[in-house]
Structure 1
Amino acid sequence: MKLHKAAFAFLPALLLAACAETPMGPTAQVLPGPGKDYGTFLQEQNFCRSQASAAVHGQAGSQNRKALYGGLATTALGAGLGAAVGGGTGAGIGAAAGALGGGLGGSAYSNSQQGGIQTQYNNAYVACMVAYKNVLPAPNAGYMPQQ
Structure 2
Amino acid sequence: MTRFLVPFVLILTLAACASAPTGPTVTVMPREGKPFDVFQKEDQECRTFAAKAVEDTSNAALKQGATSALIGAAIGAAAGAVIQGGSSQNIGTGAGIGLLGGSAMGAMGASNKEDQAQTQYNIAYQQCMYAKGNQVPSFRPLR
Percent of matched pairs sharing the same residue: 37
Q: Is the CA contact 2:54–2:121 (under 8 Å) kept in the aligned structure 1?
A: yes
Compared CA separation, residues 104 and 110, structure 1 to 2 (3 A): same
The CA distance in 2 between the partners of 1:54 and 1:106, in whole Å, is 26
**3-state SS, counterpart of residue 36 of structure 1:** coil
With the length of structure 2 as denominator, give the TM-score of the two structures: 0.72
Pairing 1:45-84 to 2, within 5 Å after superposition: 45-57=43-55, 58=59, 59-79=61-81, 81-82=82-83
Compared CA separation, residues 109 and 73, structure 1 to 2 (3 A): same
State the Cα distance separating 1:48 from its structure 2 match: 1.0
The CA distance in 1 between the partners of 2:16 and 2:35, in whole Å, is 40
The CA distance in 2 between the partners of 1:73 and 1:48, in whole Å, is 42
Q: Which residue of 1 aligns with 2:125?
A: 125
**3-state SS, counterpart of residue 29 of structure 1:** coil
Residue type at the aligned position of 1:21 = S
| 1:106 equivalent in alignment to 2:106 | yes
State the Cα distance separating 1:56 from its structure 2 match: 2.5
Q: Which residue of 1 aligns with 2:24?
A: 26
Compared CA separation, residues 127 and 65, structure 1 to 2 (3 A): same
Greater gyration radius: 1
Q: CA RMSD in A?
A: 3.2
State the Cα distance separating 1:15 from its structure 2 match: 5.0
The CA distance in 2 between the partners of 1:62 and 1:52, in whole Å, is 21
The CA distance in 2 between the partners of 1:68 and 1:44, in whole Å, is 40
The CA distance in 1 between the partners of 2:108 and 2:118, in whole Å, is 16
State the Cα distance separating 1:46 from its structure 2 match: 0.7
State the Cα distance separating 1:99 from its structure 2 match: 0.5
With the length of structure 1 as denominator, give the TM-score of the two structures: 0.70
Compared CA separation, residues 73 and 17, structure 1 to 2 (3 A): closer
Q: Paired residues, what number?
A: 132
Residue type at the aligned position of 1:24 = T
